[in-house]
Structures are given as C-alpha cells and as structure tokens.
C-alpha cells in the first residue's frame, strides 16, 4: 500500500475515533409532523430496499410522518441494523424476494418489475403513498383510493439514460441492441400508462418536475427531500484541511469513474470515496495510489470525514443530490457537475454567497479545471454561507410541504377525505 493511501486510511480512522463520543439524536424535534390515522389506512410503497441511500432517507421520513402505514417493496435486503436505523418494521415483499440469488441480480431484472408491482393487493387502503425512481408508482388502485407519488425521477434506464444502460446491457454483443431498445420502449409505454394511476405527483426538484411533464405529461408539485442538517452541522470543525471526499453509491450514473480518472492526473491531491455498490470492483481494478475506496464507514465517521474535507466532489447528473447538501451543512464547499438539479442546491462562485464551484462537462479535464479554480478562489466560500444554504432543506420543511400535498390530493379526489392530515406534535 502506498504512503499516500496509508495516510488516507489513517485519516478515515482518525475521523472514526473523533466521532466515537458524539451522539446524533434520531428522535423527531419539537413541532414535527406525525400522522393522525383514526379513520384511514395507509400503504407506503418503495421500489426496493437493498442499501441505505438518499431515497431511503426520504422513505424513513415518510415512515416517521405515517408510522402506522403498511410498507410494500419488491425486495428487502437491508440488514437488521440498517432497518433499525431507518425505522423500518414489517415489510411486505414480492415473490422476487424468494428467488435464489436475487440479492445479486435483482436490478438486472428491472424490465420485468411492472408485472410484479401490479400484483400487490392494496384495495383495502384509503391512501397510497409511493416514493419511486422506477416502478412503485405503477401499483394498481381502485377508483375511490388516493395515490400520491413522490417521484425521484422517471426510470433512468428507460428514459434519460437509456443509451448508457443499453450499452452496458449489450456489451460487445451489439446484435442484442435492437432487442434491448424494444424492451426499453415497452417499459416506457407501460410507465407512461402507469403514471395515469397517480392522483398527485410530487417531484424531488424542479428538474424532475420538468421531466415528469416531458415523460408523462403530468404536472407535479416540487418538494425538496429532507436533509439531516443537524447531524452534519455537528461535524463542522471549521478546519477543512483534510483530503478531497465524495460520498456515493457506486453505480454507473454517479460517474465516480470520472473522479478517479481526474485524480489520477492530479497525483499530488488525495481523494477518499465513501460508499459501496456494483461499480466497486470495476473501479478497484485501476485505482491510482492517491485515491482510496473506503466503503461504508458509519454515519459518525462519514460526517466527521466530510466535515474535515478540503472540498466535496460530485460528478453525477443528479435528480436532487442529498450528499452535496450534507457537505454544505458541515460547512464544506462542493465541486460539482452543474447538470440536473444541482444548480438548485449549490451557489456557484458567480453568485453572491457562493458555496461551491460548478463545472459544465462530465469529463476528467472539467473536474481538474474546477479543482484548480476552487483552490485559487476557496477564500470566497465561507462556512457560514454553506451552512445557511443547507439549512433551507431540513426535515421539518419536508414534513410541512409534503403533508400539504397529501392534503391537497385528498381534497381534490375525495368528497370526504379520511383523517390523515399530519398535525403538529
């Protein structure tokens, strides 16, 4: 192991030690919203539960809002510790849960999921809330039920990233491309029809609201996801003298490969990548000595690492991007690709009160140039500006705004809505 990587590993260990005596409360703050369900039954439908991420953080918040709701998901492979942390109790899964080896290949069967999700029997519920980036919005409902969908994005593999996923599916077997294209087209047809079953769409960003309009021809309210601002604010040391850091699932669209290649060309700088996923093996094959794949390191250690980082790196075309906001909550500047919704959450150097540097191309060179610009102008980005910007995205705001959307859906689609209005605790 090289000296630079040893230093990175030591820094991760130091962050874990520093955070060992810090406790972050997971209880709801005073004034939080909880569900009153005296006369209503509620189902929460999530695409799948395989690893904690931004979508699962939103799902956990929905569970806190509606604690008596029944939970449905295609597959659930979370560990007991992960389930406890997210507050997930009993879950109803599909037949795919019992398929041999499903944990390792279920994502590759996504084109078959429409038929599976439609088999969930939800007719006994008054209100259905789905949070979806794939097929959860496609559940079937009876005429007098209300279905509110919190949409992270129309399915990337079929809509915005069909070409990328198609190339990965076919590999060198280009003769398969027409079959894959037809499969994606069939999914888009189903997805468009399934969107009509939703009574009220809520988008995770303005960017996604526009995609919902483009893909489904539907209007959506915008409610930004909840960010655990307090947990990362506790990790703000004010130093920011550590290495560069990114926190992400290791999946293709996150473009961690671009960050790795950029830092290969910047050997004097160190990057620590926190997170895991199917891309880890691919990334590890050609990992330069100044880049460390840290895997999962725990919440406290992660927050401490981000709070000490020189800057947080982000390369994805993102639907929203919770991780960059968590970094800002820790007072850490962000260097990010400006596609998608990231311009809604980061203040670039060209604006007053900047919180980061944005670049306009998903290339290693653009990342290198952005890092250079950041290092030249870092003094213009203050801890206070970062934390102030992140504070706009807290959980209480999410509860109030999403609860209002549910109220509106009930009022518009039912003559007599059941009592599911979140109330002040």
Tell me the CATH number at 252: 3.40.50.2000
Helix-then-strand count for the chain, H and E: 16, 15
Strands (E), 133-248: 146-151, 200-203, 220-222, 244-247
**pLDDT top residue among 299 and 14:** 299
**pLDDT top residue among 171 and 313:** 313
In a shared domain, residues 64 and 182: yes
**Cβ 242 vs Cβ 309: under 8 Å:** yes
Q: Considering its fold, how many domains does the chain have in total? A: 2
**Cβ 416 vs Cβ 253: under 8 Å:** no
Structure token digits, residue 209: 């609201």
**Cβ 235 vs Cβ 242: under 8 Å:** no
In a shared domain, residues 157 and 181: yes
Q: Residue 317 — φ and ψ, nearest 5°?
A: -85, 95
Instruction: Identify the band that residue 223 occupies on the pLDDT scale cut at 50, 70 and 90.
Output: very high
Residue 12 lies in a domain: no
For residue 349, give its domain range: 228-393
DSSP letters, 312-380, are EEE-S-BSS-HHHHHHHHTT--EEEE-SBTGGGT---TTSSS--EEEESSSSHHHHHHHHHHHHHHGGG
Residue 17 has pLDDT above 90, yes or no: no
Q: CA dihedral defined by 297, 303, 306, 307, rounded to 10 degrees?
A: -140
Share of the chain above pLDDT 70, in %: 87
Residue 240 lies in a domain: yes
CATH code, 42:
3.40.50
Residue 152 has pLDDT above 50, yes or no: yes
**Cβ 109 vs Cβ 134: under 8 Å:** no
**Cβ 93 vs Cβ 106: under 8 Å:** no
In a shared domain, residues 279 and 380: yes
3-class SS of residue 424: strand
Residues 321 and 246: their CA atoms lie apart, in Å, by: 12
Residues 91 and 73: their CA atoms lie apart, in Å, by: 7
- Residue 221 is inside which H or E element, if any? strand 220-222
Residue 146 lies in a domain: yes
Residue 39 lies in a domain: yes
In a shared domain, residues 268 and 122: no
Residue 141 has pLDDT above 90, yes or no: yes
In a shared domain, residues 70 and 105: yes
Q: Provide the phi-psi class of 182: left if phi over 0, else alpha when psi is between -120 and 50, else beta.
A: alpha
**Cβ 91 vs Cβ 72: under 8 Å:** yes
In a shared domain, residues 382 and 399: no
Q: Residue 71 — φ and ψ, nearest 5°?
A: -110, 135
Alpha helices in 118-197 (DSSP H): 162-170, 177-195
Residues 103 and 110: their CA atoms lie apart, in Å, by: 13
In sequence order, what are the residues at sequence separation of 6 or more whose Cβ sits closer than 8 angstroms to the Cβ of residue 196?
none
Residues 335 and 132: their CA atoms lie apart, in Å, by: 28
175: exposed, middle or buried (Cβ count in 10 Å: 0-12, 13-18, 19+) = exposed
3-class SS of residue 273: strand
In a shared domain, residues 115 and 186: yes
pTM of the model: 0.81
Instruction: Identify the band that residue 385 occupies on the pLDDT scale cut at 50, 70 and 90.
Output: very high
Block residue for tokens 């003094």 = 379
In sequence order, what are the residues at sequence separation of 6 or more whose Cβ sits closer than 8 angstroms to the Cβ of residue 64?
28, 32, 34, 87
Q: Residue 346 — φ and ψ, nearest 5°?
A: -125, 135
- Residue 425: its pLDDT value, please? 35
Structure token digits, residue 104: 């390792």
**pLDDT top residue among 318 and 291:** 291
In a shared domain, residues 371 and 411: no
In a shared domain, residues 56 and 159: yes
Instruction: Identify the band that residue 324 occupies on the pLDDT scale cut at 50, 70 and 90.
Output: very high
Calculate helix-pair angle for 299-308, 3-18, nearest 10 degrees: 120
Structure token digits, residue 137: 């919005």
Residue 61 lies in a domain: yes
In a shared domain, residues 164 and 241: no
Residues 321 and 57: their CA atoms lie apart, in Å, by: 12
- Residue 335: its pLDDT value, please? 99
Residue 356 has pLDDT above 60, yes or no: yes
In a shared domain, residues 177 and 277: no
C-alpha distances in Å from residue 71, one per residue of 139, 142, 162, 266, 359: 13, 18, 30, 46, 40
Residues 378 and 354: their CA atoms lie apart, in Å, by: 10
Residue 122 has pLDDT above 90, yes or no: yes
As beta bridge partners, residue 375 has none
Structure token digits, residue 43: 């189902």
As beta bridge partners, residue 177 has none
C-alpha distances in Å from residue 49, one per residue of 79, 87, 177: 10, 13, 30
Count of Cβ atoms closer than 10 Å to residue 284 Cβ: 12
308: exposed, middle or buried (Cβ count in 10 Å: 0-12, 13-18, 19+) = buried
- Residue 178: its pLDDT value, please? 80
Maximum average pLDDT range among 8-17, 172-181, 329-338, 415-424: 329-338
In a shared domain, residues 365 and 326: yes
Q: How confident is the model over 124-139, as a mean pLDDT?
A: 97
């Amino acid at each position: 192991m090289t000296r630079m990587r040893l230093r990175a590993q030591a820094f991760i260990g130091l962050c874990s030690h520093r955070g060992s005596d810090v406790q972050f409360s997971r209880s709801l703050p005073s004034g939080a919203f909880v569900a009153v369900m005296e006369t209503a039954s509620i189902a929460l439908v999530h695409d799948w539960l395989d690893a904690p991420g931004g979508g699962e953080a939103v799902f956990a918040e929905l569970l806190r809002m509606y604690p008596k709701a029944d939970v449905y998901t295609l597959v659930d492979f979370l560990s007991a510790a992960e389930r406890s942390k997210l507050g997930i109790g009993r879950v109803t899964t599909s037949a795919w849960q019992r398929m041999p080896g499903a944990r390792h290949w279920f994502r590759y069967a996504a084109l078959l999921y429409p038929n599976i999700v439609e088999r969930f029997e939800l007719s006994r519920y008054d209100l259905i809330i789905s949070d979806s980036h794939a097929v959860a919005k496609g559940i079937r409902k009876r005429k007098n039920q209300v279905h509110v969908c919190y949409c992270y994005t129309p399915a990337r593999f079929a809509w915005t990233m069909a070409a990328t996923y198609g190339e990965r599916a076919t590999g060198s077997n280009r003769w398969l491309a027409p079959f894959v294209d037809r499969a994606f087209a069939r999914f888009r047809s189903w997805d468009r029809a399934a969107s009509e079953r939703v009574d009220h769409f809520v988008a995770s960003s303005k960017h996604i609201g526009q995609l919902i309009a483009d893909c489904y021809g539907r209007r959506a309210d915008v409610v930004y996801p909840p960010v655990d601002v307090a947990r990362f604010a506790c990790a703000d040391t004010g130093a920011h003298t550590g290495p560069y850091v990114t926190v992400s699932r290791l999946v293709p669209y996150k473009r961690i490969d671009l960050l790795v290649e950029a830092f290969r060309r910047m050997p004097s700088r160190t990057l620590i990548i926190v997170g895991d996923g199917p891309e880890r093996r691919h990334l590890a094959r050609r990992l330069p000595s100044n880049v460390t794949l840290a895997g999962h390191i725990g919440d406290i250690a992660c927050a401490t690492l981000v709070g000490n980082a020189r800057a947080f790196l982000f390369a994805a075309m993102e639907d929203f991007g919770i991780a960059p906001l968590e970094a800002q909550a820790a007072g850490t500047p962000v260097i990010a690709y400006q596609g998608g919704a990231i311009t809604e959450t980061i203040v670039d150097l060209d604006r007053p009160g900047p919180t980061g540097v944005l670049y306009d191309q998903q290339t290693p060179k653009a990342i290198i140039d952005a890092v250079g610009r950041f290092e030249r102008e870092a003094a213009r980005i203050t801890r206070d500006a970062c934390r102030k910007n992140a504070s706009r995205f807290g959980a209480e705001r999410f509860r109030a705004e999403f609860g209002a959307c549910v109220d509106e859906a009930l009022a518009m689609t039912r003559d007599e809505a059941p009592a599911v209005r979140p109330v002040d605790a």
